[in-house]
Chain A
Amino acid sequence: MSAVDAIEEIWLSYQMMMGAFKVTARGISHGAIDLLQGTYFVDSVTDIVMRDFEMCRKAAGDYAILGMWAVFERRVISTLAEESSKMLEKPSSAFNSVLHNKVVDAMEYWRADDVLDLIKALVGADLAGKAKQVKKHRDWIAHKNPRKPSPTKVTPTFTYQVLSEIARHLTSRPSAGEKGN
């Protein structure tokens, strides 16, 4: 599955989840026992369940952002690896191959901001900058310290639009070899 498709799939899952939450919450508020039978909601206190729903709706948005970022990050690293293979001599010497492999391995540990700086040449500074802000928000979600002030926020919609736009550019760039990421 391509990164673009994977981001689309996460986005669709998020939308489906929101719809499912709504149907379930409606079932609870209308006391539709036939709809709710066999679920955790039966015999639960309505106010508590509804409060949990609000928490879960927010969490679903956070998970969508985390998921889209994970797919996106993998796609960017793959792009760097594909591009760096052009540095290999043809035919490559043993030293050249070892050095190339070392660089590709090290990419996994490069800082996200540095990686995003590298793709500016492919997608432009504006999109790369927006992706950096998504990353900052993603880190805040992942580390969840309630006492820490929130960074500049992003919505799931914004995250979807920025990351899918970049993924599309990376996939369709000249000489791109989509390798299932």
Chain B
Amino acid sequence: MESSEKTAPKEFLDRLRRLFTDIETWVQSRNMQVVRSKMTLNEEAYGEYEVDKLSLTREGGKRIADVVPAGASVIGARGLVDLVGTIDQEILVYLDKDGPCITTAITDGDHKQTHTTPLYRGIEEAGWYWIESRKLSRGRKLDEALFLDLLAEVSDYECR
């Protein structure tokens, strides 16, 4: 029987904390303000729990984008965060090394053929990734340059 006592997903919270620290470091010298605030997630797997979200604004308080946790329980990933800008949004996922795979097993009589293909290319280590869904499902590990590119993509705010 399922326990009614659910605990917040500690690993997800740790990953979020590291992501937010990185983002704060990346934007601190670029005329942007970062404000942390609390929000609540409610997932079947973990129940209700509190997380931080980030709001990025330019001088004068005009909004650039929000970094909003979407959940720890995600098929094919270990966590999901939305980067929501003024004109678009992108998804960041936490992936283990090599990322998720699709295993196909076709049984024909006694003959069984199994085929495993990675869902995303380029997942060489665990971390936060952006998936280039519009092209070839290639994962790109999030770093400062990529984050600033994504920020420009979702908000037209050039800070590089």
Contacts and interface: CB of A to CB of B under 8 A. Distances in A.
Interface of A: 15, 18, 21-22, 25-26, 29, 50, 53-54, 57, 120-127, 130, 133-134, 137, 149-158, 161-162, 165, 169, 173-174
B25 interface: no
Contacts of B48: 149
B14 interface: no
B102 A50 contact: no
Interface residues of B, number: 35
A172 to B, nearest CB: 10
B104 to A, nearest CB: 5
21 contacts: A22-B88, A26-B87, A57-B89, A122-B106, A123-B105, A124-B103, A124-B105, A124-B114, A126-B103, A126-B104, A127-B102, A130-B75, A149-B43, A149-B44, A149-B48, A152-B73, A153-B74, A154-B76, A155-B74, A157-B91, A158-B76
Contacts of A161: 102, 119, 137
Contacts of A151: 43-44, 73
B103 A127 contact: yes
A126 B104 CA distance: 7
A137 B71 CA distance: 13
Nearest to B45: A152
B74 A154 contact: yes
Q: Which 4 A-B pairs have the closest CB atoms?
A: A124-B105, A25-B87, A126-B103, A157-B133
Contacts of A22: 87-88
Contacts of A21: 87-88
